[in-house]
Amino acid sequence: MSNSPNPEAASGGGARQLLGMKGASGTSSIWKIRLQLMKPVTWIPLIWGVLCGAAASGNFHWSISEVGASIACMLMSGPLLAGYTQTINDYYDREIDAINEPYRPIPSGAIPLGQVKAQIWILLLAGLGVAYGLDLWAGHTTPVLLLLALGGSFVSFIYSAPPLKLKQNGWLGNYALGASYIALPWWAGQALFGQLTWTTALLTLAYSLAGLGIAVVNDFKSVEGDRAMGLQSLPVAFGIEKASWISAGMIDVFQLAMVAVLIAIGQHFASVLLVLLIIPQITFQDIWLLRDPVAFDVKYQASAQPFLVLGMLVTALAIGHSTLVS
């Protein structure tokens, strides 16, 4: 098997290949190809989301048992179910990728479709199995983790697969993606170590609107293929310049809304920290996102996203502290 050369691959192409990033170099290793389909770079926010949920529970302890359970939950959310999500997305996006990124494993012919389907099923069943095991560990009478895993897997399927294919609609598809990357792993971490409440569920769904803004950033590199295939991503529907402002606005407005929530629950120090983390995000939006989101999407995410995920953790810790003292 061989992978078609990628004209955009330069220095660091091998690392990009392993992480599943745009600009990856070709490889003949079937295991590297499988890893590229799973896009490890996308696992990070889900793993972090589990950490935030555990912190928000107010009930996590640094024992061997709980650390092991949290690692298993991160494995479920990141490598297994996010890997499943990315693989099934590449399977259904193979015609679009043939336009946008023809060097990717499926359109380049580096891996047969039968093996891609097998990988999808293995990752899905392994993720559901780990979820059920975590429910047993936590002593849940209702298999909360399994239900969350099933729900998230279903959203992933209808996001990519026809006839619903949520990603055809820029608003709905990006919100589904944002909720999957922020709310679902948070819920999993919180349900594993504490109680998932309606208040937390609604709060994280609101936070996921900031995730919608992040999801838009991933659409800029795919404008040509999305337009050719009739997908109404926000950059296609509104144009690149307006979509970059929508992206920045969603990220900033809904994080500032979390500042208001923290003030309302008496977590004033956390609210100040969150504002201090939002300021550099706005700065990087001006430097990279609003000037040329197509050319600078990777630089923007690398510079701004750390502040977003740290803000999530600050919010989660504040919620956990509020739970303990209430």
Summarised one tens digit per residue, pLDDT across range 162-220 is 999 998 898 999 999 999 999 999 999 999 999 988 888 999 999 999 999 999 998 89
**Is 21 or 53 the better-scoring residue by pLDDT?**
53
Mean pLDDT score across all residues of the chain: 90
156 SS3 class: helix
- Tokens found for residue 232: 């109404």
CA distances from 326 to 56, 191, 269 (A): 13, 19, 17
Residue 64 is classified by DSSP as H
- CA–CA distance, 93 with 177 (Å, rounded to integer): 15
- Whether residue 256 is predicted with pLDDT greater than 60 in this model: the reply is yes
Give domain limits for the chain: 14-325
Question: What is the rounded average pLDDT of the residues 149-167?
Answer: 95
Residue 239 binned pLDDT confidence (cut-offs 50, 70, 90): very high
- Whether residue 18 is predicted with pLDDT greater than 70 in this model: the reply is no
34 SS3 class: helix
Burial of 118 (C-beta count, 10 Å sphere; 0-12/13-18/19+) = exposed
- Whether residue 1 is predicted with pLDDT greater than 50 in this model: the reply is no
Residue given tokens 């990033």 in the structure block: 21
In this prediction, residue 140 carries a pLDDT of 97
75 SS3 class: helix
Question: What is the rounded average pLDDT of the residues 27-51?
Answer: 90
- Whether residue 50 is predicted with pLDDT greater than 90 in this model: the reply is yes
Residue 226 binned pLDDT confidence (cut-offs 50, 70, 90): confident
Amino acid letter, 118: A
Residues 6 or more apart whose CB falls under 8 angstroms from that of 195 comprise 57
Q: 43, 11, 45: which is closest to 123 by C-alpha?
A: 43
Can you say how many angstroms the Cα of residue 292 is from the centroid of all Cα atoms in its chain?
23
Percent of the chain residues topping a pLDDT of 90: 71
- Tokens found for residue 252: 């900033």
- Whether residue 4 is predicted with pLDDT greater than 60 in this model: the reply is no
* Cα torsion through 216, 126, 31, 46, rounded to 10: 30
- CA–CA distance, 147 with 156 (Å, rounded to integer): 14
Contact 281, 251 (CB under 8 A): yes
In this prediction, residue 65 carries a pLDDT of 97
Residue 289 is classified by DSSP as I
In this prediction, residue 85 carries a pLDDT of 96
- Whether residue 104 is predicted with pLDDT greater than 50 in this model: the reply is yes
In this prediction, residue 102 carries a pLDDT of 87
In 81-170, where do the E strands start and end? none
In this prediction, residue 13 carries a pLDDT of 53
Phi, psi of 97 (to 5 degrees): -65, -30
Q: Which fold has domain 14-325?
A: Farnesyl Diphosphate Synthase (1.10.600)
Residue 230 binned pLDDT confidence (cut-offs 50, 70, 90): confident
Contact 204, 183 (CB under 8 A): yes
Residue 82 is classified by DSSP as I
Max CA separation in the chain (angstroms): 60
- CA–CA distance, 176 with 182 (Å, rounded to integer): 10
Helices (H), 161-292: 170-193, 198-217, 223-228, 234-238, 240-264, 268-284
Residue 26 binned pLDDT confidence (cut-offs 50, 70, 90): low
In this prediction, residue 48 carries a pLDDT of 94
232 SS3 class: strand
State the DSSP string of 73-120.
HHHIIIIIIIHHHHHHHHHHTHHHHHHH-TTSTTTTTSS-HHHHHHHH
- CA–CA distance, 12 with 71 (Å, rounded to integer): 29
In this prediction, residue 10 carries a pLDDT of 47
Residue 158 binned pLDDT confidence (cut-offs 50, 70, 90): very high
What pTM value is reported for the model?
A: 0.87
Contact 55, 322 (CB under 8 A): no
- Whether residue 3 is predicted with pLDDT greater than 50 in this model: the reply is no
Residue given tokens 């991933």 in the structure block: 218
Question: What is the rounded average pLDDT of the residues 117-137?
Answer: 98
* Cα torsion through 166, 125, 56, 263, rounded to 10: 0
Residue 325 binned pLDDT confidence (cut-offs 50, 70, 90): low
In this prediction, residue 103 carries a pLDDT of 84
Per-residue pLDDT of 53-84, as tens digits, reads 999 999 999 999 999 999 999 999 999 999 99
